[in-house]
Structure 1
Amino acid sequence: MGVGNAGFTHEAVVEIDRWACDTLAENTDWPLHGWDKGDVRQFDYTPLKGKVNLVTGGPPCQPFSMGGRHRAFLDPRDMFPEAARAVRELRPEAFIFENVKGLRRQAFTNYLEYIRLRLRHPDLIPQEGEEWLEHLKRLEDYETSGASGGLLYNVVIRLLNAADYGVPQKRERVFIVGVRDDLATAFHFPDKTHSQDALLWSKWRSGEYWERHKVKPVENEREKKRAAKLKVKPSELPWVTVRDALHDIPDPEFHPKAAERVADHRFIPGARSYPGHTGSPLDEPAKTLKAGVHGVPGGENMMRRPDDTIRYFSERESARLQTFPDEFRFHGSWGETMRQLGNAVPVRLAEVVAKAVRDQIDWSNEKSNSLQSSGQAASGRKRGKRVTQTRASVTST
């Protein structure tokens, strides 16, 4: 959806989970058509060759998740080899892959470099029976030997915090972006648009935050001390808080009848707090929503009110924290829906990154077309095809 909002249309969306497939199938008003229920390892890209400008995906993150089993390349759910296959077979102008912060853990350093080099040189595939460390050596040799030829991508990797881009959630995720080398364009990740300092200013220097919500300030000495050190008003917008995101829908615990008028919005009993799992404060961006290995992890998926009472976020509230529109519907039980949401990329964050990629590629192609039309095509490089108003992508989750 975020990629669609950035101006791409989807040639295919590949998803294996039955409930996620049902969710995609119901939401036909959104740019998620072309989905295919099945194993991405069996997906045939042949009909899509020459049609796709962008490949995006979230290779299953359980192998790298701090809440998972941390098995990385030993985990059969590691789909990064499939990400490389999609790039190799489709030869898109660019790709975007997203994964959990745990991918950058020290234990996975070598494997992250392996991922980068496989995506940089997607034509250099593993030989039969070759272990990944041996393949990594071969990729390193090729990378440093000055060899040329074959499909080549310039790859950058960055840890982004969704809260820095207007998402009401402190969700840190690794983004891997590659741009095909023949496009001859630079790429950098977009500058952040929101900040914690700006939120602190709006709370404790201008008071605008509390005035807007028509509530008394909730005392927080730690925040006040940090705000007092700010010399000038930050240029960014304030981080978006849980209260900001949910201000216009009724609390399902205290107003169940009114909450019934909001889709997927009902009170779920049983929330409890324990050390390390204390819920998301109402006046901060939420903690990272998680899918969990054994059901819904309570502490990350709870709201904590100023009086320290807690409750689970409803499905609709969780969807708002992931910046899904209210019209988007989910299939499955509360726990199943929360799993889908915990595995999702915030729509707004995906849109911001995809738009930055599109802008850079469009600029490169416009420059190339201008040079060609003036008879000054640069250095004999093979240029990418002309960018049209509608671009195409293939997404895998």
Structure 2
Amino acid sequence: MTARLSSIELFVGAGGLAQGIAQAGFHPRLVAEWNRDACQTIRENQERGFPLVRDWPVIEGDVRDLTFSQFEGVDLVSGGPPCQPFSLGGKHAGYNDSRDMFPQAVRAVREAKPRAFIFENVKGLTRTAFQNYFEYIRLQLQYPEIIHLDGEDWTSHLARLEQHHLSGNRDGLTYRVVTEVLQAADFGVPQKRQRVFFVGFRRDLDVTWHFPRPSHSHEQLLHDQYVTGTYWERHGLARPPVPPRLVKSVHRAQAHGGLFAAEATAWRTVRDALQGLPEPQEEPYSNWSDHRLIPGARSYPGHTGSPLDEPSKTLKAGDHGVPGGENMLLNADGSVRYFTVRESARLQTFDDQYVFSGAWGNVMRQLGNAVPVHLGRAVAQSVQQALPL
């Protein structure tokens, strides 16, 4: 049985990463989120008795107002600091953006001194434009006691951190930090969603760790679809011809003769994720209140929706409502419609019993900002297994 370890969950949102961490055996001593709708989502599920969140000690408020020293020695600190400063869909303000909460993540590590931490963000943080700031975040997490001084700009602080790192001095609170961009589809999520993870272990634990290997592969999906045809058989459909854009990829999959299946199973598709759900209608179903058709979807160049037989495009939150292309389903006949709330939740691997609070646009923002539960679980299980008993 998985050991139950303690955690602090920050910037929780609707709870995707935190639920994955809970599934890996961590029990939160603090759950912090400032967004009212996201907090209401968690509270509503607590009232409904949803097991993963039932006992969460939720604090609605600004993480800058919290202190963490009372949790010193906690097993894990985790969270997804607001990512709009670095998102490809945002304004790219980065370190000049007041929404950058990485300094608070570092402070939580400094005060709580956890045995390990997991922080994630959008892949946009790894862009060349943010290369120095990415390194700044990593070094702050590695040496959280080398603090930012009053009046010091971040580049001067980075220079001090680099000097300390090169000196070889490892006194005080230090962490071994590993970073990697993970593709959610590689871990059983029916969505092409890339996130960068920062994972660290306190140096005194002497833990050697690497990110988990992918459990699912695109190549195996192509093999199941266009070499053996088992994908279509499973869905009760006739095998279609190979799309021209996939011919070369299918040939490579065929050359492997399915041997890759010994290491990974097929990527999950939108069709896989939506299996068992009825076609949405404008009037809600009695047992699927969050599975209602939202009218008005339209296709235009660059916004064509997600094909049924691939993982979906990355669900996005959007500053001004929900972007059409990323949050639409593209049917085989070329028609499009918006994903319902329940469909979007499945694409983010939330349990069907987990409900979302707020108007449709607010709920879709919660979902667009979430970490897929299964991706969070994969990383957290690997961390849990590496922590000394």
What TM-score do the two structures reach when normalised by structure 2? 0.90
Whether 1:5 and 2:45 are equivalent positions in the alignment is no
Whether 1:40 and 2:40 are equivalent positions in the alignment is no
Tell me the distance in 1 between the aligned counterparts of 2:378 and 2:308. Answer: 25
Match of 2:373 among 347, 352, 369: 347
Cα offset, 1:260, TM superposition? 4.1
Tell me the distance in 1 between the aligned counterparts of 2:284 and 2:61. Answer: 39
Q: Which moved more, 1:203-212 or 1:20-29?
A: 20-29
Q: How does 1:118-197 map to 2 (within 5 A)?
A: 118-197=140-219
Tell me the distance in 2 between the aligned counterparts of 1:60 and 1:229. Answer: 39
2:181 is paired with a residue of what secondary structure? strand
Match of 1:27 in 2: 45
Tell me the distance in 2 between the aligned counterparts of 1:43 and 1:9. Answer: 19
Tell me the distance in 1 between the aligned counterparts of 2:326 and 2:136. Answer: 31
Checking the alignment, whether the CA contact within 8 Å between 2:283 and 2:292 is kept in structure 1 is no
Checking the alignment, whether the CA contact within 8 Å between 2:341 and 2:360 is kept in structure 1 is yes
Structure 2 counterpart of 1:309, which letter? S
Whether 1:226 and 2:252 are equivalent positions in the alignment is no
Match of 1:372 in 2: none
Q: How does 1:203-352 map to 2 (within 5 A)?
A: 203-219=225-241, 220-230=243-253, 231=255, 232-233=257-258, 234-235=260-261, 236-253=264-281, 259-352=285-378
Cα offset, 1:132, TM superposition? 0.3
Tell me the distance in 1 between the aligned counterparts of 2:121 and 2:252. Answer: 35
The answer for unaligned runs of 5 or more in structure 2 is 1-18
Checking the alignment, whether the CA contact within 8 Å between 1:9 and 1:31 is kept in structure 2 is no
List per-residue Cα deviations over 1:277-317 (Å, max 9, x = no partner). Answer: 11000000000000011111111000001111100000000
Tell me the distance in 1 between the aligned counterparts of 2:290 and 2:248. Answer: 39
Cα offset, 1:258, TM superposition? 7.9
Percentage of identical aligned residues: 54
Checking the alignment, whether the CA contact within 8 Å between 2:226 and 2:250 is kept in structure 1 is yes
- The structure number with the bigger radius of gyration is 1
Tell me the distance in 1 between the aligned counterparts of 2:125 and 2:284. Answer: 42
List per-residue Cα deviations over 1:223-261 (Å, max 9, x = no partner). Answer: 2442123312122100000000001000114xx668442
Structure 1 counterpart of 2:280, which letter? P
Structure 1 counterpart of 2:145, which letter? D
Structure 1 runs (4+) greater than 3 angstroms displaced: 256-260
List per-residue Cα deviations over 1:1-52 (Å, max 9, x = no partner). Answer: 10000000010110000000100111122333111000000012233224x1
Checking the alignment, whether the CA contact within 8 Å between 1:87 and 1:119 is kept in structure 2 is yes
Structure 2 counterpart of 1:242, which letter? V
2:117 is paired with a residue of what secondary structure? strand
Checking the alignment, whether the CA contact within 8 Å between 2:177 and 2:199 is kept in structure 1 is yes
Cα offset, 1:333, TM superposition? 0.8
2:326 is paired with a residue of what secondary structure? helix
Say which structure, 1 or 2, has more relative contact order (CA 8 Å, 6+ apart): 1
Match of 1:65 among 87, 91, 105: 87
Cα offset, 1:146, TM superposition? 1.8
Cα offset, 1:95, TM superposition? 0.3
Tell me the distance in 2 between the aligned counterparts of 1:248 and 1:65. Answer: 34
Checking the alignment, whether the CA contact within 8 Å between 1:154 and 1:178 is kept in structure 2 is yes
Q: How does 1:101-120 map to 2 (within 5 A)?
A: 101-120=123-142
Cα offset, 1:263, TM superposition? 3.2
Structure 2 counterpart of 1:11, which letter? R
Checking the alignment, whether the CA contact within 8 Å between 2:67 and 2:108 is kept in structure 1 is no
Structure 2 counterpart of 1:356, which letter? S
1:300 is paired with a residue of what secondary structure? coil
Tell me the distance in 2 between the aligned counterparts of 1:69 and 1:260. Answer: 41
List per-residue Cα deviations over 1:149-179 (Å, max 9, x = no partner). Answer: 1100001110000000000000001011011
Tell me the distance in 2 between the aligned counterparts of 1:56 and 1:263. Answer: 32
List per-residue Cα deviations over 1:326-354 (Å, max 9, x = no partner). Answer: 00010001111000000000000000000
Checking the alignment, whether the CA contact within 8 Å between 1:249 and 1:259 is kept in structure 2 is no
1:316 is paired with a residue of what secondary structure? helix
Match of 1:83 in 2: 105
Structure 1 counterpart of 2:35, which letter? D
Tell me the distance in 2 between the aligned counterparts of 1:97 and 1:35. Answer: 19
